[in-house]
Structure 1
Amino acid sequence: MKELYKSLTIKSRIIILNITILIISISMSFVFISFINRKYTEREVGEAGIQTVNALKGNLSIIFDNVTQFSDLIYFDEDIQSSLRSIDSIYMDPYILSSIRKSLVNMILSGEYLSGVYIFDKYHNTYSSYKNAPEKVNSGEIRSTFWYHNLKKARGNGFFIHKSEGIILYRNQPNYISYIREIGDMNTYETLATLLVTIDARTLESYFEEVSAESNNDFFIVDGKNNYIIPPKNHEEDLKNKLDKMQEEEKPYVRVDLQGDRTILVKQDMGINDWQLVGAFKTDKLEVMAPYYTTAIAIIVVINILFVFISSMILTRLIFKPLSKVGNHMRMVEKGHFMEMAIDKHPNEINELKRIFNGMTLSIRNLIAKVKEEEQIIAKGKLDIINAQINPHFLYNTLDAVSALALMEDYQNCFKITQALGSFYRNSLNSGLDLISIRDEIESIKSYITILNIRYDNNIEVLFDVEEDLLHEKVLKLILQPPVENAIHHGIRSRSGKGTIWINIFERDGEIIFAVSDNGKGMSEKRVEEVLKGECKTGKSGFGLHGQMERIRLYYDIDDPISIHSVEGVGTEVTIRVRRLKEGKK
């Protein structure tokens, strides 16, 4: 095939390439149109689904309102009120039983969606009327249910729950909804009994099936944790997982795939507890084409024609081998290999292009060298600026402490803090040098802790674990001060009692590792991320861990030299890694 292609004329090659490009372009256009059509369909189905679910929610609200009104009829029925007032023992009076049942039978016949009505008096006697007989009524367990304790909080108002926590058990009606309220004395407001009205879930399921009969949609009800109150007809487990995703996205509707079927899920609050009505609308059978698609297709065809024409012109001019070699050499330069192209003796446009490109390559090479030199100068300037920002606040606060100790005539601590301050700055300034031995860095931290312990009543303990052969190694000065300062001011001082800081220094894979950990209050993952990005202030000096990270990165040319691991309430560990310096740089 390759040899056959090479045997073709340039004109034939261009025609084949144009046809190939056109096929690819049309295929891409078809994919693009299909994508737009699918998005348009999803939007239309989603908006229509919202309207349908809202209308369905309104009809359900009427049913639930009717149940509430039915409970009002029972509550204010004079025969029921009179009968409940006259109950004074655990034994059921046949006359009272007959009177209450008579009232309940007349009422339940008026509500086609009602399954049963149950009244439990204060002696756990049950008075009921129902269309579907329960298998068992556990009236003695009422006081142990969660909903019974909520009755007092409701203050006479009723509320809906899913089932009844095992009080009413049906053999052929496993799923139902209950409405519960107290029946109080209309004269004294004393609690007389508990009313429980059940709605057969099959009634609502039948209503959902009537609404979705022609469209093959599905409707169901879930609570705030996406547990089913009224389950869907199909895909129960799959839909539950999709609802969890929908809850995370917080959109009015989302598109999901249910076993290969593209489906739009719409969810609306019902205004009852945390229950939500959900509609599942399939889109696979909906082929909706927007009116403006014709214009879009025409534009795409024109673009295809222009694209083929331009491609033909470019291919005609860029088919020659010398230009391909120039292109290959350009790619080498792009990768950083600044090599000159060989130029033959023939004066032509290609050789002229090579001469110009060689001159440009030489200029770029010189420019890169100059930029690197300037970057080193800028980096040194940044390092000097960072170093200048480290110590002023600490010095001012320490001098204030010295003044306070002198005024209190605490000469011993005044002497100790002055000696420690001198030692700290001798090691910190280091005669203007950037590097300091690890031994001197440790002494500097000890002086720093001495100063803070005098200021903060000896609440800080520092423990060192250092490999002996590293004490003479040179490192960037003040490398430990920012993490120690951060551990004190943002960890230990925020907790009660004495705090401890552990400083471990060891070598690993040619790098010196400084691990500073504390038993302070710790930080959240979000806070750790903010500290590493420099989005929050960590050091009282204003320098902090982010400034330290930039300082180490500029000097040692290390990416991400600082890492932080923290657990809230446990503590924080800051790890700093630097390269072991060669003798020349030391």
Structure 2
Amino acid sequence: MTKIFHQITIRTKIFFVYIAALIFTFAITVAFISIINQKYIEQEVRNAGEQTIRVLTENLNFIFDNVTQFSNLIYFDDNVQNALVSISQDYIEPDVHIEIEKSLSNIILSADYIASAFIFDKYFNSYSAYKSAPIYVDPNKIIQTNWFAQMKEANGNGFFIHKSENVLQFPNKENLNYISYIREIGNKENYDPIATLLITIEAAIFQDFFDKVTQSDTSQFFIMDDEYNFIIPPKNHELEYIEYGLENLNNDEVISIANNTAVIISQKIPHSEWTLFGSFQIDRMKMSLPLYLTIIGIMILNIFVAVLYSVEINRLIFNPLGRMALHMKLIEQGQFIEMPIKGNDNNNEINRLKQVFNHMAMSIKTLIMKVKEEEQLNAKSEINLIQAQINPHFLYNTLDAVSALALMEDHERCFQMVQALGQFYRNTLNSGQDFIMISQEIASISSYITILNIRYDDKIKFSYDIEEELKSQMILKLLLQPIVENAVYHGIKEKDGDGSIHIKIYRDEDEIIFIITDDGCGMEEDRIHQILNEKIQTGNSGFGIYSLIQRVKLYYNIENPVTIYSELDSGTEFIIKIPML
């Protein structure tokens, strides 16, 4: 199979590879779109669920707020207050009983969702109003309940509980599910507790709210407390939710319940420690079927278009590429011939490719020429550097001076000259390394000036000012010595009397600035131009300023590193700028 594939033409290969790539791409695309679509469907269901839960929570909050407001009406009802305060024994006065139950009846009639309301006075006598009977009340259990202890710690604030811990019993509705609102009624005058208020709301009220929001069985709503117990269970699949693990239900989680996939949305209910949960079923197949049919149709259409497209590509691309291959072979042979471009259509990819090819060919040609020039320049700089390091004339003159001092038995000056000469060549040669520390370059210059001063009777005054942190900074070897040599032989030596040379080195952001000044005879602008462009030779050793500039350009990759300011009979200033290494 591999042998057959290698034997067919490249055009056929491209066609088959293109079709295979197209099918593979569509397979990946379908998988990717399916994942995206699944996430999209989940997000749509999640958004709808969040909106539904938000509406239900607002409705529940409305009910709880109203119950709280009704409890305030009872709490601050003067008739109820007077009736409860007047009770001094565990005997119920008829007038007191009538007055309290009248207020409770008004509450029952005012709110359809309140099933019953009870007041237990401080002797645990009960007063009630309710919509469905019978309801058996066991006031003796009140003091034993958890909610009674919680009420005592609530400081008069009300709270909701699940059922009533058997204080209320419904003989005809043994499995009746309901929630209760508990609040302690205090004396308005001194806040002493005088009674307990209990208001009930049947769970059917909440289920009616849930049914009004959604008319299908694809959504389930339920309320749980903070210990994952049902307050209001789901309408369907209650056992399945329990088997899944109520503590494992998290907001925005996708779960599988009763062979259906659903998104769980939850939100805390104000005025309670309860949470409203919504389970929203996801029907992916039904929602995704139009998308899959569209993808299949587009895939078939694209395969047909791909066949026509491949034929046209063969006609437009392969012939120009063949001609371009021939020109590449010419470049391999060293013939940099530009490809002819037909027309001026720059939007044509083949024409643009030819333009890039021609630009590349000319760039290579220019680069080769530039490399040759740099090799020549580098070779010349290396020769000049060797000449400067060896500097035979300087060495001969220095050795002659040493011989003369030895004959005159001037041992002190002879010793100083020999020591300075050794230090000079030690720093200059530097074991063949191209870079030395600034302190070493300054030491080399000091040795050089010492030798010249012994020869010329201390005619040259040398000083320098260097920032302390720069002394250990590495710089190109012989960066300053040629300029100092130029200042001596073309500045100070040619003027009458003594002369001075000063070097200042400091840092400016990421650059090191070298300023070398002398008070020699100076020079004219034409001479400065000639020095910078190698029109004349500078330096007694033959290592000119121009060669120094080329070395700096080569090593630091910068243009115009040296600036010269000079005035006749006043002196010269050289400025060198190089980057920090």
Question: TM-score under structure 1 normalisation?
Answer: 0.45
Structure whose alpha-carbon radius of gyration is higher: 2
Question: TM-score under structure 2 normalisation?
Answer: 0.46
